[in-house]
Amino acid sequence: MASSIGIFGGTFDPPHVGHIAAAAHCRAALGLSKVLLVVANDPWQKSPSRRVSPAADRLAMVAESVEGLDGLAVCDLEVRRGGPSFTIDTVEELARTEGVEDPWVIVGSDLATTLDTWERADELRRKVRIAVLSRPGSPLVLPEGWRAVALVSDDLDVSSSQVRERVRRGEEIGNLVTPAVVRHIEARGLYARELDGTA
């Protein structure tokens, strides 16, 4: 399974059509058998600055978003593990339990320059390859010292914070998320009072 699996981690609060398009684009561009959308339990770089929706809700919305899509799957390892979510722990667990070696970790260009600040970055650097996906407004620069490729994407310019803000204002979000996610947000009353934070 070496290099045939992509790991696309995130808070997914909520997952939107841009997430799904990006995962599908990376799968096709890299020839991957599967892209795992890994839902962070506690996104330690975001949770101190804003309220994050319960992991169970975010996990359910990702599962609803990828249902029936070939080669895309939700991954609950970080939610089941609990505590702060670190990519290195997930990479090691996938290697131990699924035999996944040398996976691709998919990151947006806005995160590519932060990789050296990630937990146990030196170990992670040896165990993964990095796919840097272009994002509007962020320069597409490969992280120095990492095995990395750049993937240019013309996918929709949408963010989770934009979705949350629209919900708070009572505006339409049906063009930004799947119908199942719209129903989940409405049923659970998510984001109705939230204003702070970014994707």
Domain interval for residue 127:
5-155
Q: What is the mean pLDDT of each run of 10 residues along the chain (199 residues)?
A: 82 96 95 97 69 95 97 97 95 96 94 94 98 85 95 82 96 96 97 59
Residue 113, domain CATH: 3.40.50.620
Say what the pLDDT of residue 42 is: 87
How far from 100 is each of 4, 29, 125, 147, 169, CA to CA, in Å? 8, 19, 15, 17, 43
Q: Is 99 domain-assigned? A: yes
| Count of beta carbons in the 10 Å neighbourhood of residue 180 | 14
So what's the pLDDT on residue 51? 85
* Residue 196 confidence (pLDDT): 44
* Count of the separate structural domains present in the chain: 1
Lookup result for tokens 């119908």: 179
Of residues 127, 143, 149, the one with CA closest to residue 26: 149
Flag whether 93 is in a domain: yes
Residue 168: inside a domain, yes or no? no
Residue 161 belongs to some domain of the structure: no
